[in-house]
Amino acid sequence: MIKAVMMMNTQGKPRLAKFYNYMPVEKQQELIRGVFSVLCSRPENVSNFLEIDSLFGPDSRLVYKHYATLYFVLVFDGSENELAMLDLIQVPVETLDKCFSNVCELDIVFNYSKMHAVLDEIVFGGQVLETSSAEVMKAVEEISKLEAASNSISLVPKSVSGWRGR
Amino acid sequence: MTGMRGLSVFISDIRNCQNKEAERLRVDKELGNIRTCFKNEKVLTPYKKKKYVWKMLYIHMLGYDVDFGHMEAVSLISAPKYPEKQVGYIVTSCLLNENNDFLKLAINTVRNDIIGRNETFQCLALTLVGNIGGRDFSESLAPDVQKLLISSSCRPLVRKKAALCLLRLFRKNPDAVNVDGWADRMAQLLDERDIGVLTSSTSLLVALVSNNHEAYSSCLPKCVKILERLSRNQDVPQEYTYYGIPSPWLQVKAMRALQYFPTIEDPSTRKALFEVLQRILMGTDVVKNVNKNNASHAVLFEALSLVMHLDAEKEMMSQCVALLGKFISVREPNIRYLGLENMTRMLMITDVQDIIKKHQSQIITSLKDPDISIRRRALDLLYGMCDVSNAKDIVEELLQYLSTAEFSMREELSLKAAILAEKFAPDLSWYVDVILQLIDKAGDFVSDDIWFRVVQFVTNNEDLQPYAASKAREYLDKIAIHETMVKVSAYILGEYGHLLARQPGCSASELFNILHEKLPTVSTPTIPILLSTYAKLLMHTQPPDPELQKKIWAVFKKYESCIDVEIQQRAVEYFELSKKGAAFMDVLAEMPKFPERQSSLIKKAEDVEDTADQSAIKLRAQQQPSNALVLAEPQPVNGAPSPLKVPIVSGSTQDPDSVARSLSQPNGTIGNIDPQIPSPDLLSDLLGPLAIEAAPEAVSTDQHGPIGAEGVPEEVDGSAIVPVEEQTNSTELIGNIAERFHALCLKDSGVLYEDSHVQIGIKAEWRGHHGRLVLFMGNKNTSPLTSVQALILPPAHLKLDLSPVPDTIPPRAQVQSPLEVMNIRPSRDVAVLDFSYKFGTNMVNAKLRIPATLNKFLQPLQLTSEEFFPQWRALSGPPLKLQEVVRGVRPLALPEMANLFNSFHVTVCPGLDPNPNNLVASTTFYSESTGAMLCLARIETDPADRTQLRMTVGSGDPSLTFELKEFIKEQLITIPMGSRAIVPAAGSGPAQPVAQPPSPATLADDPGALLAGLL
């Protein structure tokens, strides 16, 4: 089972954090900080695996990927295959790349809500839901259409402009 | 989702904050703003609500507690429009935990969305349930979710979510998935064409089979079919092909599911599977593209695990090892990492050690990898693959690595090196070298256990002593040495320094000088060791060296008024003793050998490994006898220690302390008063397990044969003493045997038995799984007691050695007889002392339970909740964790019950259990077979009915769990010193010949039956 999905930038600022077992906010922050402190001391060109029992308890594994200014982190238990988890990081990244054509940290910051929608189409209750970024895109586009439809009816007159996030 | 200007502005503001303080101010302002708006329902349009709730989630992610507005978030769930509903669902699943009351309010809305017609609403609702997964949801929604999953009219988008939602509900509540009907449905689901649904369904299957594989055996061939479809037929839509690999995730999941079935019986399925596996093993190469590598090797490593699990043919196994050997030398760090990890795993499963040894040099190279993750894996693997043949190489590598390793690894590294050196030492001098090097290089990381252990080895092996002494002397020449080195060399030189006397620089006064140079640099705990060494040096100087004596006395004098009591006491006592000549020699004589026992280091390591599920070394250690242990001479069985020697304090590793202790009680509790008495016959009786049959004076044929002591039938209690002939001057029992026994179960000294002629007292010391009892047998009369016999009837789990008891106890005299106890394994059985004597013509026999009960091998241990709960959860259930509802408990208030537990060394950990009516307790149990083993217990009492409770006991050993549970139960049910005492008191009237006991005389012929009757 996947215990947590985290995105943080190279300064340690969380950009997305989702825990699949409830955790109070202080504990979440402690874990995010703990993970960051280990990640930021990792050199380049080493493995993507970390031992993380000290933070998440026994039988915890962590894989991460480093993209420009962002770390993408998955924490999971022994029932998952490590390399498959590493691959899984690629799915949201590919999807976001399609959404924003050449995604960067700013896209993620300002489209925070979209990030949640994308993630919910990939990881569901701590399990892998979908691994095809094409399928994820389809689902996300469907959601966007619904929103747009709803916005055009009731929200556009109220909102000041058609400002679209980025 | 988009188009929320306010949210974007807020995020920009936060980004522009210069520091944390500014951010906090901005956040507080926003929270205040949101709070005000939420209060004013009128102006709160759904759009605004949505915006605010997103802001709340953002603030939550930044690490601020958002303790209001949950109601608003939940209320959005029932909004009619999609955007509001969506944010309601997403934010609720992030902010609320499953027990939140607001969620209960939302259950109906969620259910309506799930059974409704709107697929997007279905998806939102399923996502919420799947992410939160509460028990309430599980009970009310599982059937609806099941329907969605098997519905043919639903789109795959909904069905795959339903599958994972069901999995989550199943985790919370296994009844959510009804096994009877569901197994067939599950098998049908695996025929699914859509890869998304199939992946989710396979995940669900993994969870179900991990719980109960038998019910889902029909799914096994389906998993193989899936693998064939993907791997052989490549029958996968383009969007699920990842770098040319057909859905690696689904392949991995299917292989994972197969690992939960114990074996594959059907030959054709097995054959098909092995074909697929063979294809995967052969067809994977390391390529340039990192992502492709990851995907293909994810499948490959899963295939390797499956091959190991299936215990494939030797040929396939060696193919796997060859692959792993290739992996550990590739450039790609992830694959190297997993290669090392899987090799370690493989060691545990199969006998591939010899093949793995071929890669030893490569593994050693990995110990120098820039990546700490890989270095750790390499260390684990080296540790696991070490045996007698390669121990020297591996340990030397570890030592070399120690000087460059980062601090976070040094402790583990030095512990592992010490353990390997001990387990696989080709010769003991090498072992001493390794440990001394270890202390020299990484003294800070060498725990006390490690140097205690080397001292034990040196003490127990005479051949080693001169070597160790000269090595220790060498290290002292170094300019700056670690304090631990000072300790160990001081100890060794104190004991064995005199063996070097003829070598240059090793006279007693030279040794003293060089050691004394170190004294100003050491901390308080080391000074007592140095003082003992000085005393020993002084004692060994023959003829006495007045010069040295003057110097050492000056040191003792200096510390006479030391503020540290330990130092002060030693200084004073050594000073006085050193004036006493012969007595000085006796007291400071060489330490006797240590009893053979399991290394605390190895025990420690095993404890760690048990939890870490890495028992490779343990498994192999059982197959390979360690040289080190063979070389060490075993402690002679009760080899009547010279009364001049300092007693062995069993279990103590604080050797210098024991010296001090014996010094402070010069009349230690040792020795037989009368060593010439024991006849060879008696000895053989004592040693033979069937001693009772051979015992010449056993009165078994007499119709007044010996009967159980304070045995089970209570009426018998008073009849523990049976006069052989009914005489008027018969023996009168004083006190109640059962009562005395129960009292001694909870304390360590007291009277075990008393009658008008004799009193038997007992004094016990317990350490780990060893115990040392001394029986004090006092003759109260003015005439001797003759034909005294004390036989031990040991239960199977205890090893008992009673020093011979003299045949006669002179008038008004007391004899002492030490009894060594060793606990082999957990059991509640009790040893019995068969004691008899003749007073005049009167033969008296009593069978007394010896208070070497289970609780004596418990050591109090207080745990914090961080320590307790992971252990508690790790014990999954029977046989390691047993639960029982106990009725007929004598009513006790909770504090009293806590006292009772503490009194038998099961430490109550207050405040750990949130329910004030529950007790949580922990203890460590010691026995030879289990080592030191953590035991945990939880008592759930019912305040309304104090006569019943529910008890859960757990430990790492099934028999221990059972015995401890029964033991605690006995303590809770029986009243140790209650009404039982009355019966025997009445029965032990003066001169009242005890009536023929109900137990038949034949019982006495069979020690087994006799014991059974007694216990």
How would DSSP label each residue in B822-871? EE-S------EEEEEEEETTEEEEEEEE-S--GGGGEEE----HHHHHHH
How high is the pLDDT of residue B226? 95
- CB-based contact B5 A16, cutoff 8 Å: no
Q: What is the mean pLDDT of residues B943-969?
A: 87
pLDDT at residue B318 in the model: 80
Please state, as a whole number, how many other Cβ atoms lie within 10 Å of the Cβ of residue B777.
23
Interface contacts (A, B; CB < 8 Å) = 214
Which of B872, B888, B978 is CA-nearest to residue B935? B872
- Nearest CB to B5: which of A86, A111, A163? A163
Per-residue pLDDT of B293-322, as tens digits, reads: 888 999 999 999 898 888 767 778 888 888
Q: pLDDT tens-digit profile of B901-926?
A: 888 888 888 878 888 888 888 898 98
Q: Residue B826: pLDDT above 70?
A: yes
* Axis-axis angle for helices B220-227, B195-211 (nearest 10): 140
Q: How far apart are the C-alpha atoms of B132 and A119, rounded to whole Å? A: 15
Q: Do B200 and A25 touch (CB under 8 A)?
A: no
For residue B235, the distance in angstroms to the closest alpha carbon of chain A comes to 15
Of B82, B127, B334, the CB nearest to A47: B334
When computed from its CA atoms, the radius of gyration of chain A, rounded to whole angstroms, is 17
Q: How far is B392 from chain A (nearest CA, A)?
A: 29
Digit-coded pLDDT (tens) for B503-543:
888 888 888 999 998 888 889 889 999 999 999 888 888 77
pLDDT over 80 (residue B823)? yes
3-state secondary structure at position B260: coil
Cβ within 8 Å, pair B82-A147: yes
For B563-662, strand residue ranges (E) read none
What was the pLDDT predicted at A119?
92
- Chain A residues with CB under 8 Å of B83 CB are 146-147, 150-151, 155
Shortest distance between the Cα of A73 and any Cα of chain B, in A, equals 15
Q: What mean pLDDT is predicted for residues B374-381?
A: 91
* Cβ pair A84:B248 closer than 8 A: yes
CB contact under 8 A, A83 and B239: no
CA distance A148 to chain B (A): 9
Q: Using CB atoms and an 8 Å cut-off, which of residues 53-112 of chain A contact chain B?
A: 57-58, 79, 81-84, 86-88, 90, 109-112
Which of these, A51, A24, A124, A100, lies nearest to B376 by C-alpha position?
A: A51
Q: Which two tokens stand for residue B176?
A: 């959510």
Helix ranges (H only) for B425-563 are 428-442, 448-460, 464-476, 483-496, 508-518, 526-540, 546-559
Pick the more confident residue, B922 or B735. Answer: B922
Mean pLDDT for B933-958 is 87
Mean pLDDT of all residues in B465-480: 90
Cα separation of B159 and B165, whole Å? Answer: 10
Which residues are within 8 A (CB) of B36 and not within 5 positions of it... i.e. 6 or more apart?
Answer: none
| pLDDT tens profile B548-589 | 888 999 999 999 888 888 899 999 988 888 887 777 777 787
**Nearest CA-CA distance, residue B879 and chain A, Å:** 22
Tokens of B235: 């029958």
Kindly indicate the confidence band of residue B609, based on its pLDDT and cuts at 50, 70 and 90. low
Q: Between A87, A116, A117, which is nearest B294 by CB?
A: A87
Of A55-69, A120-134, B204-218, B991-1005, least confident by mean pLDDT is B991-1005
Residues of B in contact with A45 (CB under 8 A): 333, 370
pLDDT score, position B500: 86
Question: In which band, very low, low, confident or very high, does the pLDDT at A154 lie, cut at 50, 70 and 90?
Answer: very low
B608 touches chain A (CB under 8 A): no
Q: Among the ranges A105-109, B282-286, B663-667, which has the highest mean pLDDT value?
A: A105-109
Least confident of A2-11, A116-125, B545-554, B912-921: B912-921
Q: Measured between CB atoms, does A132 come within 8 Å of chain B?
A: yes
Instruction: Work out the pLDDT band at B730, boundaries 50, 70, 90.
Output: low
Look at residues B131, B792, B908, B381 and name the one whose alpha carbon lies nearest to residue A129. Answer: B131
- The structure tokens 């390979």 sit at B624
Residue B30: what pLDDT?
92
Q: Tell which B residues from 240 to 299 touch A, by Cβ distance under 8 Å.
A: 240, 242, 247-250, 252-253, 256, 291, 294-295, 297-298
Residues of chain A neighbouring B337 (CB-CB closer than 8 A):
47, 49
Could you say which residues from 953 to 972 on chain B have a Cβ atom under 8 Å away from some Cβ of chain A? none
Binning pLDDT at 50, 70 and 90, where does residue B251 land?
very high
CB distance B394 to B386 below 8 Å: yes
Q: Answer yes or no: are the C-beta atoms of A3 and A56 closer than 8 Å.
A: yes
Residue B767, classed as helix, strand or coil, is strand
Q: Which residues of B touch A162 (CB under 8 A)?
A: 3
In whole angstroms, what is the distance from residue B813 CA to residue B784 CA? 9
Alpha carbon of B83: minimum distance to chain A alpha carbons (Å): 6
pLDDT over 70 at B975, yes or no: no
CA distances from A141 to A89, A106, A147, B163 (A): 20, 20, 10, 23
Token duo for residue B928:
């030879």
Give the residue-averaged pLDDT of A7-24: 90
Out of B65, B160, B302, the one facing A81 most closely (by C-beta) is B302
Asked if A157 reaches chain B (Cβ–Cβ under 8 Å), the answer is no
Nearest to A45 among B199, B242, B333 (CB): B333
Total H helices, total E strands in chain A: 6, 7
**Predicted pLDDT of residue B785:** 84
Chain B residues with CB under 8 Å of A116 CB are 57, 90, 94
pLDDT(B89) > 60: yes
pLDDT computed for residue A160 by the predictor: 38
Quick check: B712 pLDDT over 50?
no
Asked if the model's pLDDT at residue B619 lies above 70, the reply is no
3-state secondary structure of B505: coil
Q: Do A28 and B373 touch (CB under 8 A)?
A: no
Nearest-CA distance from A43 to chain B in Å? 8
pLDDT of residue B605: 66
3-state secondary structure of B403: coil
Are B54 and A112 in contact (CB < 8 Å)?
yes
Task: Kindly report the average pLDDT of chain B as a whole number.
Answer: 79
Q: What are phi and psi of B488, to 5 degrees?
A: -70, -40
Q: Name the closest residue on chain A to residue B239, using Cα atoms.
A: A132
Tens of pLDDT, residue by residue over B623-671, are 443 333 333 333 333 433 333 333 333 333 444 444 444 334 434 333 3
**Bigger pLDDT: B999 or B55?**
B55
Q: Does A22 sit within 8 Å of B301, measured CB to CB? A: no
Average pLDDT, chain A: 85
Contact across the interface for A22 and B97, Cβ inside 8 Å: yes
> What value does the CA radius of gyration of chain B take, rounded to a whole number of Å?
37
The widest CA-to-CA distance across chain A, in whole angstroms, is 54
Distance CA B31, CA A127 (A): 33
- Angle among Cα B893, B897, B903 to the nearest 5 degrees reads 145
Sequence-distant (6+) residues with CB within 8 A of B992 are none
Cβ contacts of B446-452, under 8 Å, gap ≥ 24 = B446/B414, B446/B418, B446/B484, B447/B411, B447/B415, B448/B653, B449/B600, B449/B601, B449/B604, B449/B653, B450/B414, B450/B415, B450/B418, B450/B601, B451/B484, B451/B487, B451/B488, B452/B600, B452/B653, B452/B654, B452/B655
Q: What is the mean pLDDT of residues B135-142?
A: 84
pLDDT at B268 over 90: yes
B144 touches chain A (CB under 8 A): no
Coil vs helix vs strand at B809: strand
Contact with chain A for residue B97, Cβ under 8 A: yes
- What does B896-956 look like in DSSP terms, one character per residue? HHHHHHHHTT-EE-TT-SSSTTEEEEEEEEEETTTEEEEEEEEEEEETTEEEEEEEEEEES
pLDDT-derived band at B608, boundaries 50, 70, 90: low
Q: ipTM of this model? A: 0.88
Contact yes or no for B252 and A86 at CB 8 A: no
Phi-psi domain of B638 (left: phi exceeds 0; alpha: psi -120 through 50; beta: other): left
Q: Hey, what are B536's tokens?
A: 């020993």
Residue for token digits 């959510």? B176
**Shortest distance, CA B908 to any CA of chain A (angstroms):** 24
Question: Which tops the pLDDT comparison, B442 or B258?
Answer: B258
Q: What percent of chain B has pLDDT over 70?
A: 82
**Among B451, B430, B428, B455, which Cα is nearest to B439's?**
B451
Owner of token pair 């929270």 = B31
| Residue with more model confidence, B800 or B614 | B800
Of chain B residues 201-240, which have a CB less than 8 A from chain A?
Answer: 203, 206, 210, 239-240
- Chain A residues with CB inside 8 Å of B64's CB? 25
- Whole-angstrom CA distances from B584 to A106, B536, B945 are 82, 9, 64
CB contact set of B342 (below 8 Å; sequence gap of 6+): B301, B304, B305, B324, B327
The three-state secondary structure class of B818 is strand
Contacts of B303 (CB under 8 A, 6+ apart): B255, B277, B280, B281
| Minimal C-alpha gap between A7 and chain B (Å) | 11
Q: Is B4 left (phi over 0), alpha (psi -120 to 50) or beta?
A: beta
pLDDT tens digit sequence for A19-56: 998 888 899 999 999 999 999 988 888 999 998 888 88
Go through chain B and tell me how many residues it has. Answer: 1015
**Which residue of B334, B374, B870 is in closest CB contact with A83?**
B334
pTM, 2 dp: 0.62
Distance CA B790, CA B802 (A): 9
Chain B residues with CB inside 8 Å of A117's CB?
Answer: 1, 86, 90
Confidence of residue B44 (pLDDT cuts 50, 70, 90): confident
Search chain A and give the residue with CA nearest B1: A113
Identify the residue with better confidence: B419 or B634: B419
What does the pLDDT read at residue B663?
A: 39
Length of chain A: 166
For the stretch B765-775, pLDDT in tens is 888 888 888 88
Hey, are the CB atoms on A84 and B167 less than 8 Å from each other?
A: no
Q: Is B120 in the A-facing interface, judged by CB distances under 8 Å? A: yes
Q: What token pair was written down for B785?
A: 């007691």
Query: Average pLDDT of B466-478?
Result: 91
Q: Where are the beta strands (DSSP E) in B9-94?
A: none
Chain A residues whose beta carbon lies within 8 Å of the beta carbon of residue B57: 112, 116
